[in-house]
Structure 1
Amino acid sequence: MSANISRSEALEDYSLYSNLNDEELLQLAIERSLTDTPYNTCDRMTSKTAYKTPPQPNSSSLNPEARARNPSRHSSQNPHANYSSHNATSAQATANYSSPNPPREELPDLKTFDGTVSHFMTGSGKRMVEYRRTDGSLVVIAPEPELEEEPLFKAIRLGDASLVKALTMDLGTNLMLPSKPGWLAIHQAAWCGQDTCLRILLSAQPGMINKRTERGESALLVAVSRDQLESVQVLLENGVDPNIPNYEKETPLYRACERNIPAMVAALLNHGAVVNSPCIWGCTALHEASGQNNVEICEMLLKAGAKHNLTNMYGISPLFNAAQSGQLAALRVLLKHGADINSQAADGATALYEAAKNGHEEIVEFLLSQNANANIPGKTGLLPLHVAAQRGSDIIVSMLISATSKTRVRRTGISPLHLAAERNHDDVVELAIEAGFNVNSQLSEERSRLYQDRRSTALYFSVINNNIHAVHMLLEAGANPNVDLFRPLLVAARQGCIQIVTLLVEHGADINASLPTHPTTFPAVYMFSMKNLPMFKFLLDHGGPALSCFNCIYGIRPHPSIKTTRTVRDLSETDSVPQQRGSVQFCEMISAAGIHRWAGPIIDVLLDYVGHVTLCSRMIYHLDSYSDWSNIKEKATPPRPLLQLCRVQILQLVGQRCLKKLPLPGGLIRFLQHQEGSVEDCLQET
């Protein structure tokens, strides 16, 4: 075969004989070798079009906030400036193949291809392109080709004005023929800021001045996006339409405000830019300027007729935008021009509400000085004071307390104390207490239902958060520990926090409180303290009844089997509670899984707080199950010691709280309080 075989012949061979097996191909090669000059297959060369990857513009300078809001917009700013778009001949380059594999089929021409083209990336990071016909059938999948930069575009990028002029005068160059993304030479010049080249192009083809890219960008919008002020002025001087938006309805003026360039804004306004044109989100140029806190641009826009009361699709006005982003200077300008300080967004939030929510202290102070209404709630019913307490902004809370009506706070069904306690903001809790907010205010029924345990007080929030300091502040301020349906004492006992249990009991927490979902014949708090014997003993020392733990309807008779179930998730994470008809008895409780192994020590502690009692058959069963517990069983056998009986009788008559007032020796008081060492020592001291 010929050593200088053409590319078309190679492709023809590949397409005609690719279905032949190895033997058939070998036979064909032998036949051809009889007529053609032999050659080494490994030296075969084939031509391949060489392309360059187009330079990607740097978008890091674009507004990050706007980029986050409109993620697709800034991706459109990457011009495919180096796609071939004119009648220039593509340079050809050769590629050496080290393997005998045939060359790849040439990809379809995008300008004439009738179908869909999809781009994707493989797992190894290789860019691929897929061509499919209109009926969905696959044409080819191949690596994405790199495109060669067209001479005219390269000359513009390099600023070679003489070459640009020569190329534009070439009859073979069609300046109105777009490249793949609709990118014309005028867009390339605007992007690169080549003003001389831009003038040459406009002189050669004035009709291209308002042409848009495939993404709807005019050359003016491209120049504004790239901060090319000189290019903007050249385009405006040559009569470009300053109001052509992209497909997201962003005009050059909108983009100039976003880029925060006053000179560019002034140039656009002087050439008739429409000032109140909204983007696809409903935002105007004034929205962008207020968010940038550029007083100069805001003043120019307002003097040009910008309306400060226009809102975007979320009901957000420029004033709201400035307050939300903490832009004090812009806020002052807008209010000076008559913006409504109490205007509300679609969700009911005001500028003051949003400033408090975002922790902008200067904005809150300024708005309050301008008589902003602090009693306008958002859609959740919360006031600015609520969101500031929720955030933990104690300075803002202190400013809003005097401006907020306590009556309006009550109508919301939730106090700032609730929100501060829920988030563990102790400084705000202290401020609210000092401001006179009711420490016993309860959540409204609607808000309480949002919690599975139906909590209602700020104290409950602090207890469930194990916030000892906040619990102490609330209790000292007069918080009632017996208001919530599920008492805070039960929560503290379940969490094993002896400090909070002590505080609650000292401030009058009811040890005998029941648990509505799991009725018991003994104090419900015992269910959560049996594994913590010091806490269990503390509760007994402070008035917890012990005799009820020995009451059993079955007595010494056999007990029925016990079925256990998990408690409500918010009440106990680890314990099981017996499920019987009626109330749960203590002997059934200590028989539950996870507790029965503590039965002996628990009964031993209880016996110190009762006189004559009879152990039921189930308690006896537990004491008999472990040999070391035999002495506990003997301890319960009557008769009980006289000292024990006297102690029980005195405690029943006097009560724990009055013991210290009795005119008795200290040793006897300690004995009555179960703090004695040995009985003999106590008697000797007495």
Structure 2
Amino acid sequence: MYNSTYMFDDDSDDEIPTQQAIQESLQDRHKIETSGSATEDESFQYIASEEHEKIIAAIRTGQEEALMKLVKHSSAFEEADQQGWLPVHEAAAQLNKNILEITLKASRATTWEQTTLKGETPLLVAVRNCFVDNVRFLLLNGCNPNVKNEEGDSPLVTGADVLSQAMDCASVLFEAAGGGNPDSLSLLLEYGADANVPKHSGHLPIHRAAYRGHFVALKYLVPVTDFDAIKESGISPVHSAAAGAHPQCLEFLLKSGFDANFMLDQRVRKGYDDHRKSALYFAVSNGDICSTQLLLDAGALPNQDPINCLQIALRMGNYELINLLLRHGANVNYFCRVNTTHFPSALQYALKDEVMLRMLMNYGYDVHRCFDCPQGNSSRSQYVTDGWTSTVIKDTMFCEVITLSWLKHLSGKVVRVMLDYVDHVNICWKLEAVLKEQELWPDINSILTNPRSLKHLCRLKIRECMGRLRLRCPVFMTFLPLPNCLKDYILYKEYDLYGQENFIGTYNLNCT
């Protein structure tokens, strides 16, 4: 499965395999060409001239006078090393702008846009090293801020054909956005760099800045990035900020008007085994509470992804994430298409954790489906569940799961909790046999064989009238003309173990 690093940070994409392929291809070609004669072998070998070596040494050591004396050797300034670096590339990577000025004037104009084996022009090298003076100098001398690699534009003559097929477009502005250098970014934009030119992956500079967490860079890029270009990319910078776990950038983007519910395009979703769609999914997967809160407060919908965000939080056992999602309408009764259970899938992650179990039940988990099993009868009532298809092979009942040898010791505690959320239920013979072995059986049996209190039945009836949608969003409770104590009772506040733990923790902290 592709991870968020692959999707949002192009430094981690196929650059390395590409370079390996290039090197291997060059080696293969070298073998073919050298199979002829010794003369051909000698002509292929890269041998730097003495003048070229002196030029590179002067550039690296910052010896301006020595470099000035070497200007007369113009051909040596057109020689590239095995990585495709010309002297002008080397000069762009030095802090001394005078060195770059001397080298640029000594080099032919055609070399100013020439790329290295990694597709870097001298301007791109200066940007990557955050040398603003060098960037400004190159731009003033006409270097193109929107340059892309051109086919056959390689200094390595023997590898020109391979290189032109293997390399992709690279934008200087994209590199500046990734480096988070506001001065370089501002200069590039001032000299006409286009923020809407995508990389080969479809990403824009704004995506790189958001993923890397470069807040200042985002401030420059948001006003000059077109929504149509973002839509065409299939990815929102909101996804990038969420994937990179940068709440400050995420908050800025949301306040700038970016949609919290922008969904990944289908072609991008295919890069993930889980076919995720929402920015919220990235935030939840990262366990990023702050970003999750920001997205939910901005109206992010928690039930849009093929794998429910709540399922991810439950799998992680993160109470705070679970609570956040439930309070903002996460569907507690989702069904996982992989595990074909008759009861909503969320229960599987809470069997060993009463805090999570109570959280699910309090938010309207359909407990009745756990007891929907005819006693000793192979025929079972059929329910039509959203998202299920004819490919479902087996509708696994709760009793079949909880009576497994490695789970049956939990059956007493789980069923006892469930009984707090139902009226009268029948349990099948299989579940009863296991429950009779549990310590809590006398209590469970007493509840099953005696009438429930009127108070409890009223609570269940009110919850039924409210409907699960309103139970999933308790904010609706504020509109009911009921005393607060009654509202708390309806919402099972006495069984809100997570809320009680937080209250006790806060109380202890304040006392301290």
Give the alignment's TM-score, normalised by structure 1.
0.57
Match of 1:359 among 157, 171, 180: 180
Closer, same or farther in 2 for the Cα pair 1:315/1:617, shift >3 Å? same
Match of 1:520 among 341, 352, 367: 341
Cα distance, 1:479 vs structure 2: 0.2
Q: Indicate the residue corresponding to 1:35 in structure 2.
A: none
Match of 1:478 among 293, 299, 309: 299
Closer, same or farther in 2 for the Cα pair 1:329/1:625, shift >3 Å? same
Q: Indicate the residue corresponding to 2:257 in structure 1.
A: 436
Cα distance, 1:550 vs structure 2: 0.8
Structure 1, 359-368 or 591-600: larger mean CA deviation: 591-600
Q: In structure 2, what residue type is equivalent to 1:493?
A: L
Structure 2 counterpart SS, 1:269:
coil
Q: Indicate the residue corresponding to 2:116 in structure 1.
A: 312
Distance 1:312 1:668 in 2: 72
Q: Indicate the residue corresponding to 2:414 in structure 1.
A: 602
Contact 1:251–1:279 (CA under 8 A) maintained in structure 2? no
Distance 2:310 2:270 in 1: 21
Structure 2 counterpart SS, 1:527:
helix
Structure 1 counterpart SS, 2:218:
helix
Q: Indicate the residue corresponding to 1:336 in structure 2.
A: 140
Q: In structure 1, what residue type is equivalent to 2:339?
A: H
Structure 1, 306-315 or 654-663: larger mean CA deviation: 654-663
Q: Indicate the residue corresponding to 2:83 in structure 1.
A: 281
Q: In structure 2, what residue type is equivalent to 1:262?
A: E
Distance 2:398 2:179 in 1: 52
Q: In structure 2, what residue type is equivalent to 1:315?
A: G
Closer, same or farther in 2 for the Cα pair 1:277/1:674, shift >3 Å? closer
Q: Indicate the residue corresponding to 1:674 in structure 2.
A: 492
Cα distance, 1:288 vs structure 2: 1.1
Distance 1:392 1:673 in 2: 40
Structure 1: 5+ residue runs without aligned partners?
A: 1-68, 70-214, 218-242, 561-579, 678-686
Cα distance, 1:638 vs structure 2: 4.5
Structure 1 counterpart SS, 2:119:
coil
Closer, same or farther in 2 for the Cα pair 1:646/1:499, shift >3 Å? same
Closer, same or farther in 2 for the Cα pair 1:651/1:636, shift >3 Å? same
Q: Indicate the residue corresponding to 2:199 in structure 1.
A: 378
Distance 2:348 2:177 in 1: 44
Distance 2:479 2:224 in 1: 49
* Counterparts of residues 616-631 of structure 1 (less than 5 Å): 616-631=428-443
Q: Deviations over 1:283-340 (max 9, x none)?
A: 2211111111432233223333432122233332211211121122222222222211
* Counterparts of residues 50-69 of structure 1 (less than 5 Å): none
Q: In structure 1, what residue type is equivalent to 2:127?
A: A
Cα distance, 1:661 vs structure 2: 5.1
Match of 2:375 among 555, 567, 576: 555
Matched, 1:292 2:94: yes
Structure 2 counterpart SS, 1:296:
helix
Distance 1:271 1:288 in 2: 17
Q: Deviations over 1:581-608 (max 9, x none)?
A: 4222222232345532221111111112
Distance 1:509 1:674 in 2: 18
Q: Indicate the residue corresponding to 1:615 in structure 2.
A: 427
Q: Deviations over 1:93-147 (max 9, x none)?
A: xxxxxxxxxxxxxxxxxxxxxxxxxxxxxxxxxxxxxxxxxxxxxxxxxxxxxxx
Q: Indicate the residue corresponding to 2:287 in structure 1.
A: 466
Closer, same or farther in 2 for the Cα pair 1:340/1:639, shift >3 Å? same
Distance 2:80 2:244 in 1: 40
Structure 2: 5+ residue runs without aligned partners?
A: 1-18, 20-45, 150-166, 381-391, 496-512
Cα distance, 1:271 vs structure 2: 6.3
Distance 2:221 2:490 in 1: 53
Contact 1:667–1:676 (CA under 8 A) maintained in structure 2? no
Contact 2:180–2:216 (CA under 8 A) maintained in structure 1? no
Distance 1:474 1:675 in 2: 26
Cα distance, 1:400 vs structure 2: 1.0
Q: Deviations over 1:455-506 (max 9, x none)?
A: 2111011112221111111011010011001111111122222222222122
Q: In structure 2, what residue type is equivalent to 1:500?
A: L
Q: Indicate the residue corresponding to 1:260 in structure 2.
A: 62
Structure 2 counterpart SS, 1:608:
helix
Contact 2:196–2:229 (CA under 8 A) maintained in structure 1? yes
Distance 1:292 1:262 in 2: 12
Structure 1 counterpart SS, 2:70:
helix
Distance 1:494 1:272 in 2: 65
* Counterparts of residues 649-660 of structure 1 (less than 5 Å): 649-655=461-467, 656=471, 657=474
Closer, same or farther in 2 for the Cα pair 1:269/1:642, shift >3 Å? closer
Contact 2:88–2:107 (CA under 8 A) maintained in structure 1? no
Q: In structure 2, what residue type is equivalent to 1:335?
A: L
Distance 1:439 1:594 in 2: 42
Contact 1:486–1:515 (CA under 8 A) maintained in structure 2? yes
Instruction: Give the aligned length.
Output: 417
Q: Indicate the residue corresponding to 1:303 in structure 2.
A: 105
Contact 1:289–1:298 (CA under 8 A) maintained in structure 2? yes
Cα distance, 1:665 vs structure 2: 5.2
Closer, same or farther in 2 for the Cα pair 1:512/1:336, shift >3 Å? same
Structure 1, 458-467 or 637-646: larger mean CA deviation: 637-646
Q: In structure 2, what residue type is equivalent to 1:674?
A: Y
Closer, same or farther in 2 for the Cα pair 1:356/1:628, shift >3 Å? same
Match of 2:456 among 641, 644, 662: 644
Structure 1 counterpart SS, 2:252:
helix
Distance 2:119 2:227 in 1: 28
Match of 1:587 among 388, 399, 403: 399
Cα distance, 1:642 vs structure 2: 3.8
Matched, 1:408 2:210: no
Cα distance, 1:646 vs structure 2: 3.4
Q: Deviations over 1:337-372 (max 9, x none)?
A: 221121124431121111222232221121112221
Structure 2 counterpart SS, 1:310:
coil
Closer, same or farther in 2 for the Cα pair 1:409/1:672, shift >3 Å? closer
Distance 1:316 1:634 in 2: 77
Closer, same or farther in 2 for the Cα pair 1:280/1:626, shift >3 Å? closer
* Counterparts of residues 106-505 of structure 1 (less than 5 Å): 244=50, 250-270=52-72, 274-307=76-109, 308-345=112-149, 346-505=167-326
Cα distance, 1:216 vs structure 2: 6.6
Q: Deviations over 1:182-222 (max 9, x none)?
A: xxxxxxxxxxxxxxxxxxxxxxxxxxxxxxxxx978xxxxx
Structure 2 counterpart SS, 1:399:
helix
Contact 2:409–2:438 (CA under 8 A) maintained in structure 1? no
Closer, same or farther in 2 for the Cα pair 1:621/1:660, shift >3 Å? farther
Cα distance, 1:263 vs structure 2: 0.7
